[in-house]
Amino acid sequence: MLNVWQDLVIRKADPTDHPALIQLLQRKSFIHRHLGWESPLAWLENDPFYLLEAAQGIVAALACPPDEDKITWLRLFAVRPGFPVEDAWNTLWPAAISWMKEKYSGVLINSLVMDNKMEKILKRSEFEEVYQVVVLVWDIAKAIWPESRSDLEVREMLPEDFQQVYEIDLSAFSLIWRNSMSQQQAAYQEAFSARVIEIKGKVAAYQISTTNPQGGHLARLAVDPEYQNQGLATLLIEDILNTFQEQGIVEITVNTQSNNLASLELYKKFGFKQLEETYPVLQYKI
């Protein structure tokens, strides 16, 4: 099938490719994208971001640039209709991984996979499963309201809180789940709700939530380890669920790892129900 596509070349992407990549993503293409706070095309000026191009135009794209904290996700793999997906991967992945190996050692390339075909491709390329992500859903009709603290207040997150929120991320999350400072700022810009609990003049916990056509999503919740197991997470969840209700949003989702038993127990106290589907996180070590 490859001989249908003439003059195939691999090259690095650049900002002038943006319109063509938009078109690629709007076609009925095979698309794997990282569910981060920024569009994959926001990484267009970062390496490695490779294109497979033919006389007919761009046929595939692959991007896995590290952020400023060297946290790396497979941010985009897209293949236009009619081009063999495996051939595109087998062409672009070696180019990207060669670039990464020249620049970094010990870096982990991560991918949250929601497609069986993509999972098979990654596993054939020596990605290994390290987590399973689960989805929980809250329905107001089946809500439970556990007792929460009344001696603390929840307030809006402010830009001047970013550094403290970033430091909470560093201490509360394992490496691949941390938000870099730029990701933190992007999350704030995209948020429906961004709220914090402050204790003794210091941000002790925060949550960031979004909305979508189906309802609301509790996207981020973290508590400074110094204040964990003291009811702060419960208070933040109560606060955002009330906020969603006030806006007429009555179905809420949240994601967590299947082995994060404390998190699962916390959400189930509010009546969240775990869905059957799970999504693997695969990892490739440089």
Number of domains in the chain: 2
Kindly report, residue by residue over 23-52, the tens digit of the pLDDT. Answer: 999 988 999 999 888 899 999 999 999 999
Q: Is the pLDDT of residue 2 over 60?
A: no
Kindly state whether residue 48 falls inside one of the protein's structural domains.
yes
> Are the C-beta atoms of residues 116 and 277 closer than 8 Å to each other?
no
Kindly state whether residue 16 falls inside one of the protein's structural domains.
yes
CA-closest candidate to residue 43, choices 57, 23, 62:
62
Domain end position, chosen among 108, 126, 144: 126
Kindly state whether residue 241 falls inside one of the protein's structural domains.
yes
Same domain, 78 and 187: no
Residue 101 CB contacts under 8 Å (≥ 6 apart), including other chains: 286
- Cα distance from N-terminal residue to C-terminal residue, the chain: 32
User: Global pTM?
Assistant: 0.90
Specify the pLDDT at position 1. 45
Kindly state whether residue 261 falls inside one of the protein's structural domains.
yes
Kindly state whether residue 286 falls inside one of the protein's structural domains.
no
pLDDT band with cut points at 50, 70 and 90 for residue 16: very high
Kindly report, residue by residue over 257-278, the tens digit of the pLDDT. Answer: 999 999 999 999 999 999 999 9
Kindly state whether residue 194 falls inside one of the protein's structural domains.
yes
Same domain, 104 and 164: no
Helix (H) or strand (E) holding 90: helix 85-103
Domain end position, chosen among 103, 126, 149: 126
Specify the pLDDT at position 175. 87
Kindly state whether residue 283 falls inside one of the protein's structural domains.
no
Same domain, 96 and 220: no
Same domain, 148 and 271: yes
Kindly report, residue by residue over 217-240, the tens digit of the pLDDT. Answer: 999 999 999 999 999 999 999 999
Q: Give mean pLDDT, residues 124-153.
A: 93
Domain end position, chosen among 96, 126, 156: 126
Provide the token pair at 110. 């991560």
pLDDT band with cut points at 50, 70 and 90 for residue 105: confident
Same domain, 120 and 145: no
The alpha-helical segments, DSSP class H, found in 104-223 are 116-124, 162-172, 181-190
Q: Is the pLDDT of residue 101 over 90?
A: yes
Same domain, 165 and 50: no
Q: Is the pLDDT of residue 203 over 60?
A: yes
Provide the token pair at 81. 């209709």
Q: Give mean pLDDT, residues 180-205.
A: 96
Same domain, 91 and 143: no
Same domain, 146 and 267: yes
CA 222 – CA 173 distance, rounded (Å): 8
Same domain, 89 and 165: no
Please state, rounded to an integer, the average pLDDT across all residues of the chain.
Answer: 94
Parent domain of 243: 133-278
Same domain, 225 and 265: yes
Q: Is the pLDDT of residue 3 over 70?
A: no
Same domain, 50 and 147: no
Kindly state whether residue 197 falls inside one of the protein's structural domains.
yes
pLDDT band with cut points at 50, 70 and 90 for residue 140: confident
CATH of the domain at 117: 3.40.630.30
Q: Give mean pLDDT, residues 147-170.
A: 96
Same domain, 149 and 252: yes
Kindly report, residue by residue over 58-94, the tens digit of the pLDDT. Answer: 999 999 999 887 889 999 999 999 999 999 999 999 9
Specify the pLDDT at position 143. 87
Our CA dihedral for 187, 189, 190, 194, rounded to 10 degrees, sits at 70
Residue 273 CB contacts under 8 Å (≥ 6 apart), including other chains: 136, 137, 138, 139, 142
Q: Is the pLDDT of residue 141 over 90?
A: no
